[in-house]
Chain A
Amino acid sequence: MKVIAWLAGIGTLVAGGFYMIVSLNRWEWNRALFFGIIVLIAEVALATGLVLRRLARLEYRTRVDPEVINVLSETRPPSPDRFAWLRDTTQQTNVFITFLVGGGVILSAGAWMVDRIASKTSSPAGEQKLGSQLSRISYPSGGLLLDDVTVLAQDVPGANDDQIRWLLRRGGRL
């Protein structure tokens, strides 16, 4: 079957090429174009067949003997059971508990260290430094709005502004 296909392809190529040249020689351009297309199709088909045949040969060459594969798979060492310690057993002490307790101790030690370091950040010297920094934005000693007009306004009967009175008290005017 393959031989017939190859012969048909080659025959089409040769015949198409022959008639293409004959048509060109006779000045029959449309016929020449038609046979040229036939030649092109046959050429592409033959080239594809040749490439596929070469690929099939390569595949055949690289095919490994199944007996060798069997020997290799049989002599393969067993894969190690790396999580055997996770399995629950009633007879042995589980390693997982050791990790749990150890992890707890380490976490507790870390938390204690953090607590100690945090407590050292609020020393008396630190508080004094903070106070001096805050003094820059504190109220002035005489108050904010304590001018004479405000003070006299508080003597007027009926005047009762709690916030102004609070400022007067703070400034020592009341």
Chain B
Amino acid sequence: MTKARLGKIALGVVGLGIGVVGVLALREATLSTHEDVAARETRLVLSGETKGGEENQTLSEMVESQVLTCRLEVESDLAGPIERLGDGRFRAVLVPALDDSNQRQFRGCLEDWVIDHVRLDVEALDQIR
């Protein structure tokens, strides 16, 4: 067996290893695993901006729609209305507190392209005891 052939085989094995590790890591990162949380609630602060929306659509209702849509993906619910902080920033409280997996899922949903013409950026997603 020549050196070049051995090198190709080694390269293939390394590539296969990287691929397998990558897929396993991605699987671990996207797997929903829930655990008990000591905190009582989770506070959400986000900023949003809209572009090219319809005339009678406001940023507030877009934010509310997206937060309510994403809240359906986790086990927590809004503890009250979404507060408008001004300058395109909003705050909400969810009970019970989100565990780590739910936090990632909730943040991903909020920053995803769920509703047209609006883009949200989660500034804070903290646990409150």
Contact = CB atoms under 8 A, between A and B. Distances in A.
Interface of A: 21, 24-31, 34
Given A24-B29, A25-B30, A30 B107 contact: no
Contacts of B112: 27-31
Nearest to A30: B113
A30 B29 contact: no
Contact of B113 (A25, A27, A31): A31
B113 A21 contact: no
Contacts of A24: 26, 29-30
B114 A27 contact: no
Contacts of A34: 113
What secondary structure prevails in chain A residues at the interface with B? Answer: helix
Nearest to B103: A27
B78 interface: no
Interface string B97-108: 000000011011
Nearest to B73: A27
B114 A25 contact: no
Contacts of A26: 104, 107-108, 111
A21 B26 contact: yes
A23 B29 CA distance: 11
B109 interface: yes
